[in-house]
Amino acid sequence: MNSKCYAETMYVHLKERKYYEGLYDKITVELCRDKEAILRKVFKESKEKGFPEIDDKSIDPESEALRIFNMMHYFSVELLAGERWEGRTETIQEWIDKDTAKDQRVSEARLTTEPVCRHCGKQGLRIMEKELSHRNDDYEHNEVLFMLDCPSCNRRSAIWEDGSPWERMTTNCPKCSATMNETTKRAKTTITTTYTCPKCNHTYSDKLDLKTKKKEEQPDPYWEEDKARFILNDEEGKKYLEAKQNLERMSRLAKEAEEREANKDLYDAVAQIQKVNIGQLSDTLKPLIEKAGYTELTFERPEIGRDVFVGFSCLDGKSDRVEYDSRKQLKKTVEKALSETNWRLMSDGISYRLGYLSGRVRAYEREEDLVGLVKRSGPKKPTNNTADLSANEYRMKGKDGGDIIF
């Protein structure tokens, strides 16, 4: 582009940090005031209507209503002030970073082609201003707009960063939607714009009164008082964080208690699980394994991490038992021996090689793991204390009332 094109002025978005701090604090005070005003309105209306009677005659209805008001004030206003303190530094920095990025974008924006004056068609335009703006009604997306002066005709042009010309917004006719023509007349104290539709001849005027003075913002008499109440200092902020943590802990405990009550049978089943440690594992497995015909049960060194795993091995004492039956019987025996404990056989099952069998078991220690264990195990099957079902797991009554054993 021609070297005569240079930026003379640029709107700066970034302001001093005090500006952002003041803006954030103002929003905080307004939010807390709004919440507080709602509570006071409800309390006032309740007082005018008369507070409802309380069964306990020793309690004054107004005092009880005031207690509830203070409690609601804490949860809706004081906690809001704490949340605003907690997010203050991060939000202010986000605002600063956003405005910094805007200024950088405008500063680095360049026209890729030599612009031509829209009025006289000559080149050599000078860039007078750059700013972020939006096209038409697309307020969410900003683009860099260049304002250029033509030294040949002394008229100004506006061009977008991509080289397309700026088009002034038009007004559509409210009756036929055609683009209306505009004429502007300026008097000493007024500017009158007349809109005329070339299609249906509908016309109307807008008048801007230049004498109208902007109403001066009155000082806020309660600003310092409310700022002291709602803008927390670091010491007050730390107390808020402690209170917040206590509330979260109480809420978590309440939810846990509610969940336990709703699943009482599940947690009762967890409480009944035998908590077997590593030293007791041999005493738990050995009797049933030996009874099933396996010998020389040994355990490997435990693998202790987030979970505990223990490998074991044994020999099949029955020489006539084939591999499939040997693995199946040992798996069934181990699962039965551990069924009432916090240990389970790993999913990879039992390995077999020439009568030598091995496997691994896992311990469940954490309550959430034990809950999952109970859920996966399902409800316990009812047992019959009057008969030995260990050898005959499936039976039913015949028509004559006798047992049919499968």
Residue 252 shares a structural domain with residue 326: no
Count of domains observed in the chain: 2
Query: Are 256 and 397 in the same domain?
Result: no
Residues 236 and 252 grouped into a single domain: yes
Q: Which segments in the chain show pLDDT lower than 70?
A: 1-8, 212-215, 378-406
319 in the same domain as 250: no
- Reference 278, options 301, 250, 247; nearest CA is 301
**Looking at the structure, do residues 38 and 18 belong to the same domain, yes or no?**
yes
Residues 274 and 323 reside in one and the same domain: yes
What secondary structure letter does DSSP report for 162? T
Q: Which domain holds residue 283?
A: 270-405
* Cβ count within 10 A of residue 290: 15
Q: Give me the pLDDT at residue 402, please.
A: 56
The pLDDT score that the predictor gives to residue 97 is 97
In contact, 319 and 294? CB cutoff 8 Å: no
- The backbone region for 308, taken as left when phi is positive above 0, alpha when psi lies in -120 to 50, beta otherwise, is beta
Query: Do 298 and 249 belong to one domain?
Result: no
Residues 240 and 342 in one domain: no
pTM over 0.85: no
- CA dihedral of 326, 332, 338, 344, whole degrees rounded to 10: 90
Calpha distance 274→341 (Å, rounded): 4
Residues 312 and 366 in one domain: yes
199 CB-near residues (< 8 Å, 6+ apart): 173, 176, 178
Q: Say yes or no: 239 and 293 in one domain.
A: no
Distance from chain centroid for Cα 277: 41
| Contact indicator for 314, 296 with CB cutoff of 8 Å | yes
Q: Please indicate, yes or no, if residue 200 is contained in any of the structural domains.
A: no
What is the rounded CA–CA span in Å between residue 327 and residue 322?
9
Report the C-alpha gap between 183 and 198 in whole angstroms.
13
Are 348 and 249 contained in the same domain? no
Distance CA 215, CA 325 (A): 96
- Taken as a whole, the chain contains a residue count of 406
Q: Give the Å distances, CA to CA, from 108 to 68, 105, 135, 157.
A: 57, 5, 20, 20
Per the domain annotation, does 126 fall within a domain? no
Distance CA 74, CA 120 (A): 68
Rounded Cα gap, residues 406 and 391, in angstroms: 10
- CA distances from residue 228 to 17, 50, 130, 240 in whole angstroms, order as listed: 20, 33, 41, 15
Assigned domain for 219 exists: no
**Is 146 domain-assigned?**
no
Nearest in space to 357 (alpha carbons), one of 329, 384, 389: 329
In the sheet with 190-196, reading across from the earlier edge strand, the strands are 181-186, 190-196, 203-209
Let me know if residue 388 belongs to a domain: yes
- Mark whether 257 and 314 lie in a shared domain: no
